A and B are shown apart, each in its own frame.
Chain A
Amino acid sequence: MSMHTGIFSHAQLADRIGMVLQAEKAAAVYFDNAATSFPKPPAVIGAVTDYMTRVGGNPGRSAHARSVDAGEAVFAAREAAAELFGASNPMRVLFASNATDALNLAVQGILRPGDHAVTTAMEHNSVIRPLREMEARGVALTVVPCPDGRLDPERFSRSVRGDTKLAVVNHASNAFGILQPLRDIAAVCRERGIVLLADCAQTAGIIPIDMERDGIDLLAFAGHKGLYGPTGTGGLVLAGGFDTALLRPLKFGGTGSNSDSEVQPDFLPDRYESGTLNAAGISGLNAGIRHIFSLQDGVKSVHSHKKMLADRFINGVRGSVRGFTGYVPAERIETGVVSFNIAGMEPSEVAYLLSERYGIMCRPGLHCAPLAHRTMGTFPGGTVRFSFGIFNTEEEIDLSIQALGEISSGKR
């Protein structure tokens, strides 16, 4: 990395970024990390800035230094993602603009009219909407109920049919933080020859994942949540043994390769990556993943930090917040996501007061997951959702408990 960006030196820039982030952190408590994480590690901002001020080219399109460096930046992110998810080959990491984009590639790319698909009653709209669309186009769909929010592998197994092609399973709920027994489900999929697509939007960088060990064929992730990259990043990772003939591309276009041909290339990753990638964002994503690697114990330490914060919150509100209803016992919350209600108040009112009076930012409502809220009995009113990140502290949890105590007792 060169020392000068042309505008500021890197040291000057890092100082400025550090100051701005500290001021932002002091001004507000951000509990909406499941929507997108904030703040981003300074290295992420540095990487985006470096791309925009020094690298600057279109990855893979030319042999000049800016294009080559851009290609290197994108490849470094493929390597980081492959390592994070235990993928055998970095060329099997396909970048997309978010988790939704990756999920659509997988769902629309695999299913054909006449196929059967299975999913769970805990899904986000980014899974259930593409599946409902495929249903309208002639795919049969089974949504397996999840009492208490957990998919029973036995019940899942019974819903599989001879013509089942694809199973789509939420690794962890964005609204309730409950983890699904992915490995047991993968075992069923292996045995029955079904492709398993895991929606890891809420677990990438939070729960240790090893695609090969866990038996995931296709893994969709968001780059802007638990991986601390910029918005507009995400991807789909293909397992080593996954046959790409099963997956039709969703988009066709320029790839920088086979330029003499009018036909889409059939090799990875170009087959699925038409158009200029979000190289600036992907540079930041690379730095975000490497930030997680740099933590002592990596992903495991993120998991334990989130569990600690969720435990502290749930134990703290007990007794001090009148009319508090949680929906999931602390020991079942794995991803630092806590949904709750305060008796006699709308979720949006609670969130508004938290934000206006205390500078605590969270998300009320249905969290793009009406299906999960129906399953947990919180539809249509929804819940208040706190979602913690690696930069949240115990002091912030304590402040939020105090704030909720005051709000619930009418001291506004």
Chain B
Amino acid sequence: MKEYCVILFQTVTQSVWTSRLLKKAGIERKMVPIPRSLSADCGYCVRVLRDDAQRVRELLDRSGVGCARIENYQ
């Protein structure tokens, strides 16, 4: 079983940007609906492998995408 995290943002623009950055960096990612337990938003977030979470965090900090919440995802 693969273990995942989701990265939640304020705006879907950040999600799309992140998805593109991860694609360029060759990091596996998928757009998924925001889990109800985490937020009432109707938008989507980015799911990544839990093992990649640290790399992703660093990439986001470097690129100026802005603050994000990273949460475990089942």
- A-side residues, CB < 8 A to B, are 59-63, 67-68, 71-72, 74-75, 78, 88-91, 255-260, 265, 267-270
Contacts and interface: CB of A to CB of B under 8 A. Distances in A.
Nearest to A73: B16
A260 B41 contact: yes
Summarize B's interface: helix, strand, loop or mixed: mixed
Which 5 residue pairs spanning A and B have beta carbons closest together?
A60-B12, A260-B40, A63-B44, A63-B33, A75-B16
Summarize A's interface: helix, strand, loop or mixed: loop
Interface of B: 10-17, 19-20, 31-33, 39-44, 64, 66
Contact of A259 (B13, B33, B42): B42
Nearest to A259: B42
A357 B16 CA distance: 51
Contacts of A60: 11-13, 16, 43
A91 B33 contact: no
Contacts of A67: 44
A67 B43 CA distance: 10
B27 to A, nearest CB: 17
Given A72-B19, A72-B20, A75-B17, A267 B11 contact: yes
A59 B11 CA distance: 11
A63 B41 CA distance: 11
25 contacts: A60-B12, A60-B13, A62-B44, A63-B31, A63-B43, A63-B44, A67-B44, A68-B44, A72-B16, A75-B13, A75-B17, A90-B17, A256-B11, A256-B41, A257-B10, A257-B11, A257-B41, A257-B43, A258-B10, A259-B41, A259-B43, A260-B41, A265-B10, A267-B10, A268-B13
